[in-house]
Structure 1
Amino acid sequence: MLALDEKTIRASFVNASRKEVSDMTLPVDFDEIDWDKIDYLGWCDRKFARRAYIVVPVDGRFVGILLKQADGSARSRPQCSWCEDVHLPNDVVLYVARRGGAAGRNGDTVGTLICAEFQCSANVRKTPRMAYIGFDVEAAREKRIATLRERADTFATGILQDS
């Protein structure tokens, strides 16, 4: 992912009000992000409980999305819809986002299960276990990275549908 600055991030949001964007806090470690090792930028807001943000590259531009963590918890451990890691070292939560444009203003939302602290990029970069003799672990890892990018893009495109 290309390195982003604060101005670009704030300008990218498609489903947040100007007030929500101005109140947003950037990630604590923003200056230390290794942009080559992430496929999207995601973080939880330190000031607002249950509020999070993602910025996803889509068709040569960046799409910022305000997320809200759904109330309640699952009875069983859910699987992240983006990285699909079955050996997760972290929690997975349901995040919900308003669609952009008129649909979002009318209350239309989209939800997805994502790693609670947005560790998907690290999860897909782990070397997978050898499934069988001759299994190409590097090809499998590259496929997981490409699939994560595709799922993040699909989610962001769904938010953009009516904006």
Structure 2
Amino acid sequence: MLVVTESAIRASFVNTTQGEAKRLAVPNDLDVRPWDDLDFLGWRDPAAPQRAYLVAEADNGLIGVALRAAPQQIGRARRSMCSLCLTTHSGDGVSLMTARKAGPGGRQGNSVGAYICSDLACSLYLRGRKHAGPRVYETLTLAEKIDRTRTALSGFLRKITE
């Protein structure tokens, strides 16, 4: 992913108002992010843990979406799989993230959801820079896994913007 600035991030959001985009919490460590290893920029709002944000490169520039993480259910530990990177996590490592649709659909209350790594670090799990426990063995190359993740991400973002 290309290095992005705070102003580019704020301008990229498609499912928020301009005021909401102006007020959202952008990470203050953009200058030290491992941009070469990121397929998208994702983060949780430290002041409101149920809020999450994702910014990715698209054909026509950056696209940013505001997400809401579903509350975690308290109970027995379980393993879950991220629908983007297919990393399996135990406990609360995967969250149902919902995004209000862009445009008229979002104003009518329509939303789209996906199970995504709770910390939005899919790119780092894929590349082995972060670990979630034992990985499922795959015969795909790293490039094929990255392509699969980017395809899944594009599909999720397309559902939000349609």
Q: Same fold (TM over 0.5)?
A: yes
Q: 1:70 to 1:130 in 2, by over 3 A?
A: closer
Query: Which secondary structure state, in structure 2, belongs to the residue aligned with residue 4 of structure 1?
Result: coil
Higher mean C-alpha deviation, range 65-74 or range 117-126: 65-74
- Counterpart position of 2:33: 33
- Please, what TM-score do these two structures have when normalized by structure 2? 0.85
Paired residue type of 1:146? D
RMSD over aligned CA atoms reads 2.3
Greater strand share, 1 or 2? 2
Q: 1:50 to 1:86 in 2, by over 3 A?
A: closer
Return 5+ residue gaps in structure 2 as ranges: 130-134
Q: 1:88 to 1:78 in 2, by over 3 A?
A: closer
The answer on whether the counterparts of 1:58 and 1:157 sit within 8 Å (CA) in structure 2 is: no
1:158 maps to 2:159:
yes
**Pairwise CA distance, 1:49:** 2.8
- Please, what TM-score do these two structures have when normalized by structure 1? 0.85
Query: Which secondary structure state, in structure 2, belongs to the residue aligned with residue 50 of structure 1?
Result: strand
| Equivalenced residues, count | 155
Paired residue type of 1:85? T
- Counterpart position of 1:2: 2
The answer on whether the counterparts of 1:97 and 1:111 sit within 8 Å (CA) in structure 2 is: yes
- Between the aligned partners of 2:107 and 2:31, the Cα distance in structure 1 is 34
- Between the aligned partners of 1:29 and 1:17, the Cα distance in structure 2 is 24
Higher mean C-alpha deviation, range 119-128 or range 48-57: 119-128
The answer on whether the counterparts of 1:88 and 1:123 sit within 8 Å (CA) in structure 2 is: no
**Pairwise CA distance, 1:160:** 0.8
Q: 1:92 to 1:130 in 2, by over 3 A?
A: closer
Structure 1 runs (4+) greater than 2 angstroms displaced: 71-77, 86-90, 126-131
**Pairwise CA distance, 1:87:** 6.2
Give the fraction of aligned pairs with identical amino acids, expressed as a percent. 34
Return 5+ residue gaps in structure 1 as ranges: none
Q: 1:77 to 1:12 in 2, by over 3 A?
A: same
